Amino acid sequence: MAQGAVAALDSQIAGGVIVAPVGHVPAGFDPATHGLQVTYGSHPLPDETSLAAGQGVAEFVAGLDARAQVLFMVSGGASSLVDWLVPGASLADLQALNRWALQSGAPIAQVNALRRRISRLKGGGLARIAHGRRTHALMISDVPGDDPRIIGSGLLHAFPDECMGEPGAGALPTELRALLDRVH
């Protein structure tokens, strides 16, 4: 996606952050020559790099000039690659939630409803950090219906708090229910 943006926008790009899994920057593409910094996140389970990437993206966006135009490009996997947790949630909590999600068979809308509850970025959090800057978003969907509120757990799109049918208390392991109670 970044390579395509560079090809289309060339000198209009004044810097940015690319978050990708290790080994996913195309051979022959040198993001640094376009002012782009590459940082890595983990997929399908988030790890420390995912949290560092999330905080780094948040700090980059917050530090932009108020008149900056921002191009966000979000694809499937973003939920794991980039996150910044709410106080009280830990990496172990995030990993437990994602392990459950991968094994539960729960619809992605329900999984993302849970992810939004422990993230500062998901559910429109990244858009809130952009705070009035002119933004554009290009997304590659991996979710049924291509709903931008669901792609990447809705980094750029707020979602009502009713959580789209969050799994009932019996469907969620005790430790995840305790996590959700603890952080809210």
Confidence at residue 40, expressed as pLDDT on a 0 to 100 scale:
97
Residue 135 contacts by C-beta under 8 Å, 6 or more apart in sequence? Answer: 69, 70, 71, 72, 127, 156
Q: What is the pLDDT of residue 47?
A: 98
Q: What is the pLDDT of residue 159?
A: 77
| Contacts (Cβ under 8 Å, ≥6 apart) of 165 | 107, 109, 110, 113
CA-CA distances (angstroms) from residue 181 to 88, 89, 92, 114, 177? 10, 11, 16, 11, 6
Q: Within a 10 A sphere around the Cβ of 7, how many other Cβ atoms?
A: 9
Which pLDDT score, from 0 to 100, does residue 169 have? 46
Residue 139 has a pLDDT of 97
Q: What is the rounded (10 degree) CA torsion for 29, 47, 152, 55?
A: -80
- Phi and psi torsions of 146, nearest 5°: 55, 30
CB atoms under 10 Å from CB of 161, counted, come to 9
Nearest to 143 by CA among 126, 128, 160, 157: 157
Number of domains, the chain: 1
Q: What is the pTM of this model?
A: 0.91
pLDDT attached to residue 166: 53
Over its length of 184 residues, how does the chain's per-residue pLDDT go in tens digits? 999 999 999 999 999 999 999 999 999 999 999 999 999 999 999 999 999 999 999 999 999 999 999 999 999 899 999 999 999 999 999 999 999 998 998 998 889 889 999 999 999 999 999 998 999 999 999 998 999 999 999 999 987 754 444 555 458 899 999 999 999 7
User: Residue 122 sits in which domain range?
Assistant: 2-183
72: domain CATH number is 3.40.50.10180
> What pLDDT sits at residue 92?
97
pLDDT of residue 167: 55
pLDDT tens per residue across span 153-170: 999 998 775 444 455 545
What is the per-residue pLDDT for 158? Answer: 87
* Residue-level pLDDT at 164: 47
Q: With H, G, I as helix, E, B as strand and everything else as coil, classify residue 18.
A: strand
Number of H helices, E strands in the chain: 7, 4
DSSP annotation string for 101-152: HHHH---HHHHHHHHHHTBSSTTTHHHHHHTT-EEEEEEE--SGGG-TTTGG
